[in-house]
């Protein structure tokens, strides 16, 4: 689905901002699971004022609730910005190359070290077989050749997969190791990774 330039800005802005809006209504869960109710200020004050130590230390203050809300909201906003950026990249690829949602999604099945199956997904894909526009197919082929030479990767490729990274301010060994594991899977399937 190609989008005209006038509609593209609004569409792209919405792809980026829609996930971020969930942060506006964030309420901390205070250790509860994902399915537990979020804690309102009133519930927080009742809970913390009923604890003699927390109450005596002043932890039942609305300022403590605000601090919890801000801390959790900041974590959430970075996650939501990442989701928005991922959706934006997929949207631009779709619109630029005339691909549908399924054609730009990619993942593969893998077995974890504990033997359990898992589905690994990356943020976007461009597969040469999905391109119907000849100019787009030639641009992709040329870009893949140049990029493969640049990263010294000499395998035949059928396209590329992308992992969007933004906002990471520190080295995250767990995230880096996961990216390396993911990389083994998509290179084996004929896609170089660009992140």
Closest listed residue to residue 146, CA positions, set 192, 100, 184, 85: 192
pLDDT digits (tens, 9 = 90+) for 96-111: 999 999 999 988 888 8
At CA 159, angle to CA 153 and CA 162, rounded to 5?
85
Residue 2's SS3 state is coil
In Å, how far from its chain's centre is CA 161? Answer: 14
Q: How many residues does the chain have?
A: 195
pLDDT digits (tens, 9 = 90+) for 23-55: 877 777 776 656 667 788 998 899 899 999 999
Residue 2: how many CB atoms within 10 A of its CB? Answer: 11
Poorest-pLDDT segment among 54-68, 71-85, 112-126: 71-85
Is pTM beyond 0.75? Reply is: no
């Amino acid at each position: 689905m190609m989008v005209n330039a006038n509609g593209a800005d609004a569409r792209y802005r919405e792809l980026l901002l829609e996930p971020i809006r969930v942060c506006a209504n964030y309420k901390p869960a205070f250790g509860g699971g994902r399915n537990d109710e979020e804690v309102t200020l009133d519930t927080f004050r009742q809970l913390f004022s009923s604890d003699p130590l927390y109450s005596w230390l002043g932890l039942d203050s609305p300022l403590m609730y605000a601090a919890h809300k801000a801390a959790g909201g900041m974590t959430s906003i970075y996650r939501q910005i990442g989701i928005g950026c991922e959706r934006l990249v997929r949207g631009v690829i779709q619109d630029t190359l005339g691909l549908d949602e399924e054609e730009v999604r990619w993942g593969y099945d893998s077995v974890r070290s504990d033997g359990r199956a898992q589905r690994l997904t990356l943020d976007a894909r461009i597969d040469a077989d999905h391109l119907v526009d000849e100019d787009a197919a030639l641009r992709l082929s040329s870009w893949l050749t140049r990029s493969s030479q640049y990263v010294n990767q000499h395998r035949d490729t059928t396209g590329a997969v992308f992992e969007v990274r933004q906002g990471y301010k520190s080295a995250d060994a767990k995230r880096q190791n996961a990216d390396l594991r993911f990389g083994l899977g998509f290179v084996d399937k004929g896609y170089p990774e660009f992140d």
